């Protein structure tokens, strides 16, 4: 390799680092802007009156996304599943997901009911939660589907009695339960109506715990994305300054 080629290597390396760090900074900036936009949409939706979930609303569910929804009906408790690896304030736990049959007989819809803690002594134990066996009224925010976490390999399809899942979606619960679920998920925010009937835990089960519905807002993490963007841009600027300094020194030392 010639001397000129050797001198080009630091320049190419610097350019690659600058391009990479600027790209990462731009990505963090876009994520912050996207979350800001989602938060603005959520804030605007919260000012609007809730939509009553019925056959007409479910016939065209796209406008429901991001809106507050009020639904009356019954939870289909026999199809409840627990989605694993969902943490709350650093504590391991599950998201509780149950199909919900609207009172007017329209298409069942999947409800993300809340979070419950994992048994620290037995990670694979199905948690005990209140079972609702009466017609209830819930308040919720509508979303397109359930959030997914990264899976290193595709797990086998859950069996009829499997209740602990790594991920869940409308399509997966539909296949498993045999229910034709509506293409929307209700993330429950409001408490059940006073008329709820909660099932009691069996004698050998721990007492059922109320579900936590302290959902993060869409704008959570905007400041973190901005801080990361600043770090990447600062790194790009630092590499640029170092490269200019080295280039200047090399020009001065040339005969």
pLDDT for 204 equals 46
Nearest-5° Cα angle at 200, 211 to 175:
65
Q: Across all residues in the chain, what is the average pLDDT?
A: 84
Average pLDDT over residues 226-237: 93
Residue 199 pLDDT level (bands cut at 50, 70, 90)? very low
Query: Running DSSP on this structure, what letter comes out for residue 219?
Result: T
Beta bridge partners of 190: none
Task: Give the three-class secondary structure for 160.
Answer: coil
| CB-CB contact of 138 with 185 (8 Å) | no
33-65 tens-digit pLDDT: 888 887 787 777 778 899 999 999 998 888 888
pLDDT for 197 equals 42
Provide the percentage of residues in the chain whose pLDDT is more than 90. 43
Q: Which stretch of DSSP H or E encloses residue 67? A: none
Nearest to 72 by CA among 57, 86, 93: 57
Task: Give the three-class secondary structure for 185.
Answer: strand
pLDDT for 82 equals 95
Residue 145 pLDDT level (bands cut at 50, 70, 90)? very high
- The two structure tokens encoding residue 112: 């993300």
Query: Running DSSP on this structure, what letter comes out for residue 125?
Result: S
Average pLDDT over residues 225-249: 88
pLDDT for 111 equals 97
91-141 tens-digit pLDDT: 999 999 999 999 999 999 999 999 999 887 787 788 888 777 788 999 999
Lowest-pLDDT choice from 39-43, 206-210, 228-232: 206-210
pLDDT for 125 equals 83
pLDDT for 13 equals 85
Q: For residue 169, report the phi and psi dihedrals to the nearest 5 degrees.
A: -150, 170
Residue 208 pLDDT level (bands cut at 50, 70, 90)? low
Nearest to 164 by CA among 231, 109, 84: 84
pLDDT for 123 equals 76
Residue 193 pLDDT level (bands cut at 50, 70, 90)? low
pLDDT for 83 equals 94
Helices (H), 125-186: 170-177
Average pLDDT over residues 20-37: 90
Q: Does residue 232 have a pLDDT over 90?
A: yes
Q: Does residue 254 have a pLDDT over 70?
A: no
Task: Give the three-class secondary structure for 238.
Answer: helix
Q: In terms of residues, how long is the chain?
A: 255
| CB-CB contact of 140 with 98 (8 Å) | no
pLDDT for 216 equals 79
Between β-strands 185-188 and 81-83, what pairing exists: parallel, antiparallel or unpaired?
Answer: unpaired
pTM of the model: 0.73
């Amino acid at each position: 390799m010639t001397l000129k080629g050797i001198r080009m290597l630091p320049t190419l390396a610097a350019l690659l680092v600058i391009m990479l760090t600027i790209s990462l900074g731009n990505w963090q900036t876009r994520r912050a802007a996207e979350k800001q936009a989602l938060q603005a949409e959520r804030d605007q939706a919260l000012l609007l009156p809730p939509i009553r979930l019925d056959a007409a609303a479910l016939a065209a569910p796209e406008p429901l996304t991001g809106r507050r929804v009020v639904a009356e009906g019954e939870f289909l408790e026999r199809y409840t599943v627990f989605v694993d690896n969902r943490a709350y304030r650093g504590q391991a736990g599950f998201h509780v997901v149950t199909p919900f049959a609207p009172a007017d007989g329209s298409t069942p819809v999947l409800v993300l009911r809340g979070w419950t803690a994992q048994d620290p002594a037995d990670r694979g134990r199905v948690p005990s939660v209140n079972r609702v066996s009466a017609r209830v009224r819930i308040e919720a925010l509508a979303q397109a589907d359930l959030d997914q976490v990264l899976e290193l390999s595709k797990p086998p399809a859950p069996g009829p009695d499997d209740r602990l899942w790594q991920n869940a979606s409308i399509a997966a619960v539909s296949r498993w339960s045999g229910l034709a679920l509506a293409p929307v998920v209700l993330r429950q925010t409001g408490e059940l109506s006073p008329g709820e009937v909660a099932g009691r835990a069996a004698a050998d089960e721990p007492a059922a715990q109320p579900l936590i519905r302290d959902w993060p807002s869409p704008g959570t993490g905007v400041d973190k994305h901005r801080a990361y963007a600043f770090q990447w841009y600062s790194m790009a600027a630092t590499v640029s300054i170092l490269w200019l300094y080295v280039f200047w020194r090399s020009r001065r030392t040339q005969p």
